[in-house]
Amino acid sequence: ELKVEQNPLFLSMQEGKNYTIYCNYSTTSDRLYWYRQDPGKSLESLFVLLSNGAVKQEGRLMASLDTKARLSTLHITAAVHDLSATYFCAANSGGGADGLTFGKGTHLIIQP
């Protein structure tokens, strides 16, 4: 059974700082997704990572995937208040139709 673990689960940081959210998954997965959720809102797709060594960047967010270590990271550079949200990583147990398995989410608060 695929399990996805994120850490930290809660993160409070100051604007302008850098930080990394970690996502470990327990069994082989050939793709990794990152989503953002604002309070009371639905999930917004950020990144889809498809292969070992994949790196994607959008603005101040950069995601990477190491399939050998079963680890994905979401790096935040020079954080701004607008990035405050809950971030989820999710994996799919390769080739099945059983949907995504999500981590518990990282609740990120960025303070001025």
Partner 1 sequence: DAGVTQSPTHLIKTRGQHVTLRCSPISGHKSVSWYQQVLGQGPQFIFQYYEKEERGRGNFPDRFSARQFPNYSSELNVNALLLGDSALYLCASSWRLAGFFTDTQYFGPGTRLTVL
Q: Does 104 engage in binding with partner 1 (CB under 8 A)?
A: yes
Minimum CB distance to partner 1 smaller for 1 or for 112:
1
Burial classification of residue 95, based on how many CB atoms lie within 10 Å of its CB (0-12 exposed, 13-18 middle, 19 or more buried): exposed
> Smallest distance from the beta carbon of 21 to partner 1, in angstroms?
13
Interacting residues with partner 1 between 23 and 82 (CB under 8 A): 31, 33, 35, 41-45, 48, 50
Where does this chain touch partner 1 (CB under 8 A) — which range of 15-23, 63-71, 76-84, 103-111? 103-111
Minimum CB distance to partner 1 smaller for 33 or for 76:
33
Q: How many residues bind partner 1 (CB under 8 A)?
A: 25
User: How far, in Å, CA of 20 to CA of 60, rounded?
Assistant: 12
> How many residues belong to the chain?
112
Residue 81 phi, psi dihedral angles, 5° rounding: -55, -35
Instruction: Give whole-number Cα distances, 44 to 14, 15, 27, 78, in Å.
Output: 23, 22, 25, 21
Residues that bind partner 1 (CB under 8 A): 4, 31, 33, 35, 41-45, 48, 50, 88, 90, 92, 95-105
